[in-house]
Structure 1
């Protein structure tokens, strides 16, 4: 039973301090006892003890009833019984604490076992000589860490590769010598299987302040180190792949641009001769096709430079209206159609000259307007140029096929095209919009498109700009080209004739050298105003020849590189050896003319 019932006998004891029962089995309180207990229970003396925590009843069975009242009222017996109660409570409390301690110890034991089985951390201790005297608080020979570390010093268990890292271990020895604490000290252990360990150690001292060793935690970092090695290997492979790609693009750039230079140059020269209407028409077609091919090559190379983050923007005065006229002129030749009405609107607030990269801005507009022509078979295309929010805005609107909403997320991705197979008039590599978007963002600008399938599209470009100062414009405009004596170092016969024709058309005197060594010999015999130096030539390349001219001949003559390698690293190599300017093939007449301005 949970509680002994309180009836008249117990109530009397609580009231008077004691009560006597001659025959306990007749009392109601005792009727609940087991029969065997009741048979052995005769006269009972019940004494009440009052404490702060409550009343307590002591039941003495089979007592002598003579003098019971004196016994029950004795002060000594009361004190004794109080002490018994106190002892009883203390015993219960201690028993409860003991049970809790046993349970806690059991939990700690289980956690310790689990920690040893699963955790990669373990405890260690060394003596003052840095010899490991305790590992994981056990000295069991079947423990891997104990086998490797116990009774050994770190220097005796590290790999040969670790031993070669002298600076690292000298620094560690200095820390130990100075009794300094250390954290995350990593090293590779000479074990049967690869094992990396990281130590955290705290110096220990005795009561007299003498250094007695280190106490710390070690962590197995093998898995993280293996991941580091894998990531580093992947990074190196990615870098090698990138270098291989760059090298491939460099070679292909040279191999493609060199004949392209000759083709485009010869076409330019032919267009400057007396031609019949039919001949000029065919040459215009050839020139347009060459420009398209050159544009595709440029797109691929530009994308590579954007991808590697090596593309650079120039900032010089440019004529906005003239730039637009030139782009529109090119597009009219390529996209000559009576079915499309093309209109241009330039607000009066747009300045004639702004600061910026004329080539890159022209490339952006050519791509965006060119796309409008590609996707518009008939109808209208308009270009509006205006100033808004201190930005130069270009809005290209067409009435073409439009773009489906599902394709909007793709149009600015590289090598992705909206492929309807019917309405698109020209093919490309799918880089124009991606390159344009990246160039616009490099200019801190934005591009947005509003479109509806079947009704057309509107591309909006906003670019921050600064108006060119009058002095800067005058400086550009005043650069004129006088007659020069030019040494051309070029091994390709066709390119020799082409560059010579361009220069003579500008009334310059030309001397041809077939390689770098021959150019040096000409330099020793004659004075020149300028050298146009090809980079890749037999016998002696252009970079080596330029170094000789600068370092041995001590000449500061302007040297312009002629290169089919358009990568930034190749251009940097040219400037490093002392070249003044880099002209990228294929070289057009106007480009060459502009580069000679001011000489």
Structure 2
């Protein structure tokens, strides 16, 4: 065919069929080159597709440097779209070419641009370094236009196919990843049994080395369980009853024996054939070995924590006795001292000492029984007390402890406050001591004021100081346990940061509250409000010591100071007292002498009070009243006392009036 010959229709059909069979871009360009080799000389062919307004993208090119290029539509392309084709003798001067990234990598001369309109879109063919002598005659023919349209359409379809393939490959890769993840982490699998509960099949994602198939198929559950599972007779009896009744079951857990035993959870539903006969079970199973191991670890930690708690409780029980015993003696001696003739100054000092020991006892009780505070089971005593005396005693104590010429401490108590109110005196004293003591701690010089008023049936205590104040960012810390806002400015011992936290918790349990107004550098004001109830006259009257027949009382107590105290109490009530230093000595005295009552300390050397009381009941066959004396009045300790036959439990430190009331029902034994 000569250079000026047109492409015939039969040739066109042949080439179109050939293009339809091309598998990739290379095949298409190779076929196009063979078709045009005697019609058009060119170096490269670039096929563009319009992808947005005035921009084209390369969809195919004989030269790889043109791939991934974006082409703007400027004068050259616009002219090609208008005329159908255009020849540029200086393509590097055209904006379309000048803006290419690869322009410095190619040598361009005469370039022919042909526009293509197709149902697939609008495109351009660019032939570079063409021979210009005959290009117009060939490319203006109708058959050649049709052929280029088919080439363009072929490239468009290949691009779409390539994108679709990439998308499919991406989806396949995604599902492969998920499948692999499920294979590695998935623990669920399906199972089916026959009417005899033998496993017929196991469907699991594993196709090779499926341990579930190997272990279960052809076997029953009972034949696979571990020896420890076989001991759970009740569990398996109930399960077999469910199977016999052909009922659904869910999350039935058991351990399977294997090279490495594992746990499974089974759920199943009964299946029936077309005639309605039971055909077996179909269900879902899950490997729960990891969760069981975690459960076992948690159980071990729980047991360890329980052991630690028992050890703590034992420690607290011992420490409670050891610490409270001397406090008992101090409080008792002060009570005896108050009953003697004292000068006004001595009376005031003893009142201070008495109030301090009450507060100290409360603090020790809180520290030793902190578990009760944390659980909100702190007990409170409701009885009449002198609110003015309590306030004055605390003020007096702090004046002595915190005495400073740089601080003026004043107190104002509303005259309308009744003399006696009902409540817990030492808890309230503890709170006031903490708050006022805190004011002294953070005030180097200036003034501290305590104001006590009545408002809306509430007792209001305002503690105002001219100290350093507290920054807003630290307000949340002030009532937190073991927190110190600024340790560096404490005037004296910083403590452990429990005072305000304990005070806040105690107030909330008593139905009150504590609030704070403060500004850094300008002082603070703590306001304590607590429900108020005036004591009736009958409540204020102390019990008059009624005359009671003299009793012969055996007191078993190892602490010498407490011996002196309890003996003084009892003799004041006109009773005869015999002292024993420990349980064995008490038993020997009991054998030799007749007594009306035994007061028995629980913790003593050689023989403790519980053992001694048990001996009196079981060996000496005596029903004499035995009262326990203990510094630890927890529920378990009281139960231990009653278990060995004791009649009553008296808690140290015991007050004179409480002892008198406890003895009121005891009479001489003839």
Equivalent residue for 1:596?
A: 660
Q: Residue 493 of structure 1 is aligned with which of 544, 554, 560?
A: 560
SS of the aligned residue for 1:596 comes to helix
- 2:545 equivalent to 1:480: yes
Whether the aligned pair in 1 keeps the contact of 2:414 and 2:454 (CA below 8 Å) is: no
Equivalent residue for 1:255?
A: 322
Q: Residue 417 of structure 1 is aligned with which of 469, 479, 484?
A: 484
Equivalent residue for 2:233?
A: 166
**Kindly tell me: are residues 439 and 287 of structure 1, through their superposed partners in 2, closer, same or farther at Cα, counting changes over 3 Å?**
closer
**Kindly tell me: are residues 268 and 377 of structure 1, through their superposed partners in 2, closer, same or farther at Cα, counting changes over 3 Å?**
farther
The CA RMSD measured in Å over matched residues stands at 4.4
- 2:196 equivalent to 1:129: yes
Aligned ranges 1:200-211 → 2 under 5 Å: 200-211=267-278
- 2:648 equivalent to 1:580: yes
Shift of 1:162: 1.2
Shift of 1:277: 12
Distance 1:138 1:408 in 2: 59
Whether the aligned pair in 2 keeps the contact of 1:200 and 1:217 (CA below 8 Å) is: yes
Equivalent residue for 1:393?
A: 460
Distance 2:652 2:10 in 1: 114
Aligned ranges 1:19-58 → 2 under 5 Å: 34-36=12-14
Equivalent residue for 2:506?
A: 439
Distance 2:234 2:174 in 1: 42
Shift of 1:232: 1.8
SS of the aligned residue for 2:260 comes to coil
Whether the aligned pair in 1 keeps the contact of 2:613 and 2:626 (CA below 8 Å) is: no
Equivalent residue for 1:334?
A: 401
Whether the aligned pair in 2 keeps the contact of 1:403 and 1:457 (CA below 8 Å) is: yes
- 2:410 equivalent to 1:348: no
Shift of 1:427: 4.7
Shift of 1:491: 1.7
Instruction: Give deviations 1:366-420, integer Å, cap 9, x for gaps.
Output: 2223323333344433333344455443322223333344443333233333454
SS of the aligned residue for 1:225 comes to helix
Instruction: Give deviations 1:425-462, integer Å, cap 9, x for gaps.
Output: 34533322222222222223322222223332222223
**Kindly tell me: are residues 148 and 393 of structure 1, through their superposed partners in 2, closer, same or farther at Cα, counting changes over 3 Å?**
farther
Whether the aligned pair in 2 keeps the contact of 1:264 and 1:287 (CA below 8 Å) is: yes
Is 358-367 or 380-389 further displaced after alignment? 380-389
Distance 2:16 2:421 in 1: 121
SS of the aligned residue for 1:410 comes to coil
Whether the aligned pair in 2 keeps the contact of 1:182 and 1:201 (CA below 8 Å) is: yes
Whether the aligned pair in 1 keeps the contact of 2:272 and 2:278 (CA below 8 Å) is: yes
Equivalent residue for 1:120?
A: 187
Instruction: Give deviations 1:173-214, integer Å, cap 9, x for gaps.
Output: 100010000011111111222411111100111122211110
SS of the aligned residue for 2:303 comes to helix
Equivalent residue for 2:90?
A: none
The normalised TM-score by structure 1 is 0.70
Distance 2:565 2:512 in 1: 39
Q: Residue 212 of structure 1 is aligned with which of 279, 302, 306?
A: 279
Is 233-242 or 493-502 further displaced after alignment? 493-502
Aligned ranges 1:82-101 → 2 under 5 Å: none
Whether the aligned pair in 2 keeps the contact of 1:410 and 1:416 (CA below 8 Å) is: yes
Higher relative contact order (CA 8 A, sep 6+): 1
Whether the aligned pair in 1 keeps the contact of 2:573 and 2:660 (CA below 8 Å) is: no
Distance 2:251 2:343 in 1: 83
Instruction: Give deviations 1:277-327, integer Å, cap 9, x for gaps.
Output: 999999999999988876764452243431355532334444444443444
Whether the aligned pair in 2 keeps the contact of 1:399 and 1:456 (CA below 8 Å) is: yes
Structure 2 gaps, min length 5: 1-7, 18-167, 665-670
Aligned ranges 1:27-426 → 2 under 5 Å: 34-36=12-14, 115-136=182-203, 142-262=209-329, 297-307=364-374, 309-336=376-403, 339-346=407-414, 348=416, 352-354=420-422, 356-426=423-493
Count of residues paired in the alignment: 498
Distance 1:285 1:363 in 2: 13
Distance 1:362 1:277 in 2: 22
**Kindly tell me: are residues 465 and 369 of structure 1, through their superposed partners in 2, closer, same or farther at Cα, counting changes over 3 Å?**
same
Is 507-516 or 186-195 further displaced after alignment? 507-516
The normalised TM-score by structure 2 is 0.63
Equivalent residue for 1:451?
A: 518
**Kindly tell me: are residues 558 and 175 of structure 1, through their superposed partners in 2, closer, same or farther at Cα, counting changes over 3 Å?**
same
SS of the aligned residue for 2:503 comes to helix
Shift of 1:359: 3.0
Structure 1 gaps, min length 5: 1-29, 40-101
